[in-house]
Amino acid sequence: MKGIEIYVAIAYVILGPIVGGLLDGLDRVITARLQGRVGPPLLQPFYDLRKLLTRRIAPVNSLQMPLIASHLVFAILTGVLFFYGSDILLIIFVLTLASVFLVLAAYSTGSPYSTIGAERELLLMTAYEPMIIIALVGLFGVAKSFDFYAILSSKMPAYLYLPGIYLGLVYVLEMKLRKSPFDLSTSHHAHQELVMGLTADMGGPALAMVELAHWYESVYLFALVLLFFSSSWVSAILGVGFTYLLIILLDNATARVKWELALSFAWIVALVAGAGNLIPFYLISRGSP
């Protein structure tokens, strides 16, 4: 039985939505400032969540709520396994399963908006997963382990050895966090053609569970970024903070692209920035004494 890892995993279950909600709220505040607006208060995401939970909206069918609940459960399970110190390569497949449940929930409605959103979500999954797997293999090369805490305790600055992989990871995080230019399957802007796309037919508690799952995901995705800067606490704080601000800046400075470009560019980035960094790193590390 592990020691402190258990408490960290429990803390994630309790504090994950709080941290995720604050990250979402800070995102809205910074975005408003960048756009010259006053913007909402920092706690606005929590007010929105409370409003969703108090609504009584009938689900579209009997499958929607169980599928969305499964999405939330597996999103939480992903973070629990992550912070418990399980194999992070296995964790990525659990994260994929969580996304699959959300796609199935959208497909179950039969709505054209939800169906298109679900199809685009599947395309994005095929776009970002190769780069995420390359990032994990690169971190394994640095720490010689897929264990979260083994990588975290490594004194080798991964961002210096894997700069291309880090940039590639930032690139695909724009997809995973549903930011421009890759907000293809869902939209936070009602004027776009999908009208929320993947979640168009979700409301009330169902949409609240989707939002909660997104907050949980945000926490362990930024914890994954943390592993690139874990050589010291100063570099960890600066690295994660820089990445967070960079993602927000890219979200506000870029227009949405078509799915063809999103898919092809993601694979090109995985090949050039990911494999182009990974192969020389392994060749040099094998040759070093």
pLDDT in tens, 232-270: 889 999 999 999 999 999 988 888 888 888 889 999 999
pLDDT in tens, 51-100: 999 887 777 788 889 999 999 999 999 999 989 888 887 888 898 999 99
148 or 128: whose pLDDT is higher? 128
d(CA 255, CA 20): 25
Helix runs in the chain, H state only:
4-34, 44-54, 64-84, 88-107, 112-143, 148-152, 158-161, 163-176, 205-226, 233-253, 259-269, 276-287
Helix axes 233-253, 163-176, angle to 10 degrees: 50
- Residue-range definition of the domain harbouring residue 185: 4-287
pLDDT in tens, 28-64: 999 999 988 888 999 999 999 999 998 877 777 888 8
Structure tokens at 206: 């169902």
d(CA 165, CA 134): 7
Domain count, the chain: 1
pLDDT for 78 equals 93
Does residue 190 carry a pLDDT above 60? Answer: no
| ∠ Cα 176 73 58 (to 5°) | 95
Does residue 191 carry a pLDDT above 50? Answer: no
- Is residue 87 classed exposed, middle or buried when 0-12, 13-18 and 19+ CB atoms within 10 A define those classes? middle
